[in-house]
Structure 1
Amino acid sequence: MAVTADRRTDRPEHDLASPPRALVLRLGDWISRGSIAGLAAGLPFLLAEMGWATHKGLPGVAPMLDMSTIFHGTDKPTMDPMKIPADVVIGFVTHLNLAIAFGIIFALMTPLFRNGLVLLGAGAAYGVLLYVVNIQILGNTVFEWFTSPMIDQSFQLFIHVVYGLLLVPFFLGTVTRLRASAA
């Protein structure tokens, strides 16, 4: 390695000196980490939704039936006993894919956060943003079932914030390393 006045050039992480450059150089890493984080946060999210549904006297599969309306573009879940098993699977797959996609989006934003505390706040804010966009905006314009009186909006806000916070641990070390290499 060349000897220069800047000793950082000898370190491989020197290429990560700026957050935008880190994003470009490590795009595959960010997408992979975001996919895993989204899946890991999406499964407890779904379990909590299922638990809340049973607490409210609904079947545990109700959240998957709700999610199937996104795939089908329908106003409400099917009540046809012949279609329910397929719609449970469709809703589950739809939920997991959205959780992964939202995890990737969060991952691509993490190089912008300078430390763990900011990342924690960003995770909570991201959960609120997901709730506002997915439930309040899209739910009032495209997927109206998600704003029906049967859906507890306070729980929806809470669980979306939890989803955002569950993403954070997957990026704490990365944000710390990015900042250390930029110093």
Structure 2
Amino acid sequence: MKISVPLEKGMLPDKYGKHAPAEHQIEGHPAVSFPLSVEDVPDTAKSLALTFVDFDAIPVGGFCWIHWLACNFPPDIRTIPENASASGAVPCIQGSNSDWSPLAGGWTDPRIIHRYAGPYPPDKDHAYTLTVYALDIELELEEGYYLNEFRRAIQGHVLEKAVLEVTSRA
């Protein structure tokens, strides 16, 4: 399986992160998800899922920052379009990102905490890890699920996964 994201000069375009224009933000949070291409999905896949996390956040904030969790994308999809997280253009169930945490502001608006939360590197450029999973089931998770629940749910069901490091500027 292969995944790709359009880049500008090797980096995530500004409109999907910290430097997004105001119309692409919700209360200061970058809210428009980037488009994503998926190729060579196993024929036996029943769904696709993704995680988008920032391990470079650990020395800055004390934990890996979760920017996007989503599951139950149709297995025959080859493009997840821009702003799919907010638009609902592609059916999926989305989990909680780190903005819900009391350590990160304790936001409660589902448009912020249960959708894509774009990169916002506070100190220097960060490398974000996008992982797309081809699964042999649809996951029985509810909107707002947590990464730990997702990890348990996919155990024994990953047919294949693809990982891509995506850099976003500070």
The TM-score range, normalised by the shorter chain, is: 0.3 to 0.5
Select the structure of larger CA radius of gyration: 1
TM-score (norm 1): 0.31
Going by fraction, where is strand more abundant, 1 or 2? 2
TM-score (norm 2): 0.32
